[in-house]
Amino acid sequence: MTKTAYFLILFSILPSLLFAQSIDDAFSQEKMRKDLEVFKEIRLKTNSGLYKYRTAQQIDSIYNWANKQIDKSSTYRDFYNIILQLTDFEGSVHNNTSIREKLNQSLRAEKKGYFPYPIKWIEGEWIINFEKGEIPLGSEIISINNEKIEDIIKKLYKYYTTDGINKTGKQIGINYSFSKYYRLNYGLTDTFLVKYKKNKSSKINEITIKSIGYKNYYVNVKNRFSKPYDDVNYKDWNDNEIYIYKSIGKETGVLTINSFSMGNEEDFRHLKYVSFLDSVFTAIKKNDIKNLIVDVRYNGGGTDPNDLVTYSYLTDRNFSENKQAWISFKKIPHLKYIESKIPSFLRFLGVGKYNKWFQKEFYIEKENRFYQGPLSEDHKIRTPNKQAFKGKIYLLISPRIASAGSLFASMVAGNSNTTVIGEETMGGYYGHNGHTPFTYILPKSKISTSFSIVNLEQDVPKEENQAYNRGIIPDFNVNQNFEDYLNQKDTQMNFTLDLIKKNSSE
């Protein structure tokens, strides 16, 4: 064999020797410990949200757990799940931990090992959300492979991050990707022994079902029974669906805002949206609308200042985006592990200029924190629009709401003329970590870990029913009930319309 041929063969097999080709491949504890050490250092030095919801003692405790867990771990998947648990424990909706794209491709190519059916959380139960399977539609799942469904779900929470200790938002992710999460946690499974009840009064049934492949599972998700009702959870919005206004009767209107992803002040989509808001609220005032339903149940966030401009039409107070914002470093730590991609608005800068930008923006140093200065655009005092709505606001919220969506919803929820209806949001009421995402790559596993570095305190009033480590808590907690699920009806909207009718007659 020639030297050239030898090196070509070596070069071709080297990646498979260095990196896992499947998440179930062996991965040494030595490499796990090296990456865990790097991961911890990155969080300690860069992540201003590390102690937002957790004490130093709690953080130390979970890292001690991680070290002990490594003693019992032998595969790449084992280590990935440890890092996911650490990431989720911090409590930030903007945290994200992911494997290399080649490993994701490997998952997508798997032909078996996945639970066949999408499931859904309805009235305190996990039910089958598929009409043409071996288990009847709407059946309550009791256990899978002799493990209670509630215990399984708790183990899957780590795959979908939310703010604080919120759990409702995690249900959104599990509704959609239960089978993938189950595979990541338990490995490939050939068959599933499922115990279920057809209805509350029926006996417990038992069936063994065969696994299916990754792609076939998501075909079933696409054809889930609840799709006509909840498709908005999973779709990309087009321009005609992002924002809509319609009148219901003489005195009530519905403003639906499904996203704030319309670009910044210079974007034509933003300018189009501003024009839309002006025309809508001019018409609301002209038509003497007394009740306005603001539906943001599917708003996962977007770009400033779309959220703030919208709020200016729904308030009578002066306001700013944040009361305060800070980061935890003066110069970007651990540059050798950082991904080359940086936020688009700073992409043209080198590292030195990038650091100078941070030092100019976050220049007030207090107790090892670097606070944003008062002249920042984020602290600009904004005033109500001259067409601002003066009547009763009924805010519809859901676990889908996060980031700029939860900032907006929090501000509206804080109004004295607002009634909040729906389910707790995954985004926090009082604040979150956001604005500027950083991504680091762990050296041995090549796992990428992303988080937003700016710790934000939102400009909202303190409310007795709003907890610091939770999402926005509604005044009326309304979930879709089982009957409405079967009939694909909007329980929350119907409740709101009935409430308006009741309040108008009093």
Mean pLDDT of 337-357: 68
**pLDDT tens figures, 359-413:** 888 999 999 999 998 877 778 899 999 999 999 999 999 999 999 999 999 999 9
47, pLDDT greater than 80: yes
CB atoms within 10 A of CB 399: 25
Tell me how far the alpha carbon of residue 312 is from its chain's centroid: 25
> CA geometry: angle at 254 spanning 466 and 415, to 5°?
30
- The Cα 48–Cα 101 span in angstroms is 28
CA 410 – CA 5 distance, rounded (Å): 64
Say which amino acid occupies 187: G
pLDDT digit string, tens, across residues 279-326: 999 999 999 999 999 999 999 999 889 999 999 999 999 999 999 999
What band does 7 get if pLDDT is binned at 50, 70 and 90? very low
Please report the pLDDT score of residue 230 as a whole number.
Answer: 81
Residues 76-105 have a mean pLDDT of: 96
**If you compute the radius of gyration of the chain from its CA atoms, what whole number of angstroms results?**
25
- For residue 184, CA distances in Å to 31, 63, 143, 179, 412 come to 20, 21, 18, 9, 38
Average pLDDT on 221-249 reads 80
- Residue 250: the pLDDT is 86
Return the pLDDT at 356. 86
Cα 103 to the center of its chain, rounded Å:
22
The verdict on pTM exceeding 0.95 is no
At residue 18, does pLDDT exceed 60? no
Measure Cα distances from 506 to 221, 499, 501, 502 in Å. Answer: 45, 11, 9, 7
Q: What is the mean pLDDT of the chain?
A: 91
Cα–Cα dist 415/316, whole Å: 9
Beta-strand (E) ranges in 367-430? 369-371, 392-397, 418-422
* Helix (H) or strand (E) run with residue 435 in it: strand 431-441
**Percentage of residues of the chain with pLDDT beyond 90:** 80
Contact 306, 260 (CB under 8 A): yes
pLDDT of 454 reads 95
Alpha-carbon gap, residue 415 to 305, rounded angstroms: 19
Residue partners of 304: CB distance under 8 A and separation at least 6: 264, 321, 378, 404
